[in-house]
A and B are shown apart, each in its own frame.
Chain A
Amino acid sequence: MTRLRGKALLLAAVFLAGCAPYAVLEPQGQSAGSIAGLLHLFMWVCMVIWVAVVAALAYAALKRPTPAAGSPLQSAAEFDGKANWIVGSFVALTVAILAVLTLSSYLAGKTIADITGTETVTIHVTGYQWWWDVEYEDTRPDRTIYTANELHVPVGEAVKIKLDAGDVIHSIWVPSLFGKRDLIPGQHNELTFIAEKPGVYRGQCAEFCGFQHAHMGFTIVAEPRPAFDEWRREQLAQAAIPAALEQQQGRDVFLSRGCGLCHTVRGTDAGGRVAPDLTHVASRQTLAAGTLRMTMTDLARWISDPQAIKPGTKMPKADLDERELDAVVAYVGSLK
């Protein structure tokens, strides 16, 4: 008996441990906070109602029929009155609960919507199979930043994201910061959010969009305003000029073997606009839309055979020999 109780406790502990680091339940922003509050309210209200209904059902099922009640189909006038009272009060209770839930849902939606229009940063995100194209808008066109799969935002300020899709429907979701919003081809959507604490938050495509939907992630880095401004200044700069000989050879391979047909490295001849901008690719934390960490080893794995890591990705396996491959990895890894 004691052993059984021990096992049950262990099982319960394991299940509860699974709940701890769940991003939806640990909101770090106003929008996610409203949604989490709504989630808790609905969960507790529905749980209490469910328990009450099951208890009433169990009582009705297990109750011994009293012989004095007579035929259940033949109702007495006094019982009719009692039933009216019971049913009436439960209808009133149901209406009241639904009204409270509807009102709280409306208030949460209003909190999320009220941030709109107060933004200090506007980011244009376009979803493609299977990566995120990111463009920081500015009133001066020469201060526009192009990057991919990583957004930096200032802490405590409202940030607007304009959403478009380049091929199929995607959906943007950062559970710690905001709820889902769809990216639809031909339809422009927007969302505004505030990150309240500095940190690195993982985002994910939340609408099945094909083969590598699960490998369509991104990161949001929330940092204080000075660090954000510094990052923005760094991103505006041209690509680093390769210093080492291997890196220079890598740049030559990059430009002569067609990498620039799809990718842009600002400051060089590579100007393709159909794949992620690589000008500062090594400054990002992840590679291939959150699939790999940005390390030299993973970079080499990715460039040598993208189809082995992310089958179906639009990045082809390049026909490069070992020497060319090492050089390209050294060059791309130097693009800080």
Chain B
Amino acid sequence: MQFWLPTVFLVAIYRGQKSDAAMMRAIMLLALLVAPASCQREERDLTGSVPEKPAAGIEQSVLHPGDGNNPAPARSKYEETAFDVAEGKRLFQWFNCSGCHFNGGGGIGPALMDDKWFYGSSIENIVATIKEGRPNGMPSFKGLVPEKEVWQLAAYVRSVGGFVAKDVAPSRNDDLNAAPAENRAPTPSPFNGKGP
């Protein structure tokens, strides 16, 4: 939508040089009609709804080694809305994830800002990691953190690794931050020839 307006004006100016004024007026009118469409704001889902149904029993990763038939990771709406990623960032501090993972740099727990993922970098895998826990330290938060908040947290963890779009990832903090903002994180390089 942002490219429309300048293009229309350029055409209008160009045409106005040699064509009749009526044509130019029509184009200007079109530009005026098109402009309000760019005012639309991202919609925030404030209900507690989780479209992704939580699986009964223990969730297991769909990843497995060996053959190349691993399913392509699905994208979630939670990593496509800036609001949900920002909420995840708040919860990351509230629930003291930084106690082990620090601000994504890793310390007691693994780093979240590199391209090495023991248990998969897709959002379902991160959700499973948060809910079920992982060996050597990652506790299980199943039943403690509501389902929707787990997805928001996972979306934020993806943004720390640079996996979400730059216009969705949070920008700078209000306070001092050791690392660049999430929306300036470098995109991870493909692993084994596959995109993240």
Chain A, 251-275, contact with B by CB distance < 8 Å: what is the 0/1 string? 0000011100110000000001010
Q: When chains A and B are docked, how far (Å) is the Cα of A267 from the Cα of B48?
A: 30
In the complex, chain B residues whose CB is within 8 Å of the CB of A307: 46-48
Tell me, yes or no, whether A317 is within 8 Å of chain B by CB.
yes
Q: Are B48 and A316 in contact (CB under 8 A)?
A: yes
Tell me, yes or no, whether A88 is within 8 Å of chain B by CB.
no
Q: When chains A and B are docked, how far (Å) is the Cα of A185 from the Cα of B174?
A: 10
Tell me, yes or no, whether A198 is within 8 Å of chain B by CB.
no
Number of A-B contacts (CB under 8 A): 39
**Nearest chain-B residue to A314 (Cβ)?**
B90
CB-CB contacts below 8 Å: B133-158 with A: 141, 143-149
What are 23 residue pairs bridging A and B, where the CB atoms are less than 8 Å apart in the complex? Answer: A185-B174, A256-B144, A257-B143, A257-B144, A258-B141, A258-B144, A258-B145, A262-B94, A272-B94, A305-B48, A307-B46, A307-B48, A311-B46, A312-B44, A314-B90, A316-B48, A316-B148, A317-B146, A317-B148, A319-B48, A319-B143, A319-B146, A319-B147
**Nearest chain-B residue to A129 (Cβ)?**
B90
Q: When chains A and B are docked, how far (Å) is the Cα of A305 from the Cα of B49?
A: 11
* B contact residues vs A (CB 8 Å cutoff): 44, 46-48, 90, 94-95, 141, 143-149, 174
Chain A, 290-313, contact with B by CB distance < 8 Å: what is the 0/1 string? 000000000000000101100110
In the complex, chain A residues whose CB is within 8 Å of the CB of B46: 307, 311-312
Q: When chains A and B are docked, how far (Å) is the Cα of A80 from the Cα of B146?
A: 83
Q: Are A258 and B146 in contact (CB under 8 A)?
A: yes
Tell me, yes or no, whether A103 is within 8 Å of chain B by CB.
no
For chain A, give the interface size range: 10 to 19
Tell me, yes or no, whether A318 is within 8 Å of chain B by CB.
yes
**Nearest chain-A residue to B149 (Cβ)?**
A316
Given A185-B174, A307-B47, A311-B46: A261 and B146 interface contact (C-beta under 8 Å): no
Query: Nearest Cβ in chain B — how far from A327, in angstroms?
Result: 15
CB-CB contacts below 8 Å: A231-282 with B: 256-258, 261-262, 272, 274
Q: Are B145 and A261 in contact (CB under 8 A)?
A: yes
In the complex, chain B residues whose CB is within 8 Å of the CB of A319: 48, 143, 146-147
In the complex, chain A residues whose CB is within 8 Å of the CB of B48: 305, 307, 316-317, 319
Q: When chains A and B are docked, how far (Å) is the Cα of A316 from the Cα of B146?
A: 7
9 smallest CB-CB distances across A and B, nearest first, come from A317-B48, A258-B144, A311-B46, A274-B94, A316-B146, A319-B146, A307-B46, A316-B149, A312-B46
Query: Nearest Cβ in chain B — how far from A112, in angstroms?
Result: 31
**Nearest chain-A residue to B96 (Cβ)?**
A261
Query: Nearest Cβ in chain A — how far from B89, in angstroms?
Result: 13
Q: When chains A and B are docked, how far (Å) is the Cα of A1 from the Cα of B46?
A: 56
**Nearest chain-B residue to A313 (Cβ)?**
B46
Query: Nearest Cβ in chain B — how far from A263, in angstroms?
Result: 11
**Nearest chain-B residue to A306 (Cβ)?**
B48
In the complex, chain A residues whose CB is within 8 Å of the CB of B148: 316-317
Q: Are B143 and A258 in contact (CB under 8 A)?
A: yes
Query: Nearest Cβ in chain B — how far from A286, in angstroms?
Result: 22
Q: Are B146 and A318 in contact (CB under 8 A)?
A: yes
Query: Nearest Cβ in chain A — how far from B122, in angstroms?
Result: 23
Q: When chains A and B are docked, how far (Å) is the Cα of A311 from the Cα of B174?
A: 24
Q: Are B147 and A261 in contact (CB under 8 A)?
A: no
Given A185-B174, A256-B143: A261 and B47 interface contact (C-beta under 8 Å): no
**Nearest chain-B residue to A308 (Cβ)?**
B47
Beyond the given pairs A262-B94, A317-B48, 10 more chain A to chain B contacts, judged by CB atoms under 8 angstroms and listed by A's residue number, are: A185-B174, A257-B143, A261-B144, A261-B145, A272-B94, A307-B47, A308-B47, A312-B44, A314-B90, A319-B147
**Nearest chain-B residue to A317 (Cβ)?**
B48
In the complex, chain A residues whose CB is within 8 Å of the CB of B95: 261
Q: When chains A and B are docked, how far (Å) is the Cα of A274 from the Cα of B147?
A: 19
Interface centre among A262, A305, A307, A319 (most CB of B within 10 A): A319
Query: Nearest Cβ in chain A — how far from B53, in angstroms?
Result: 12
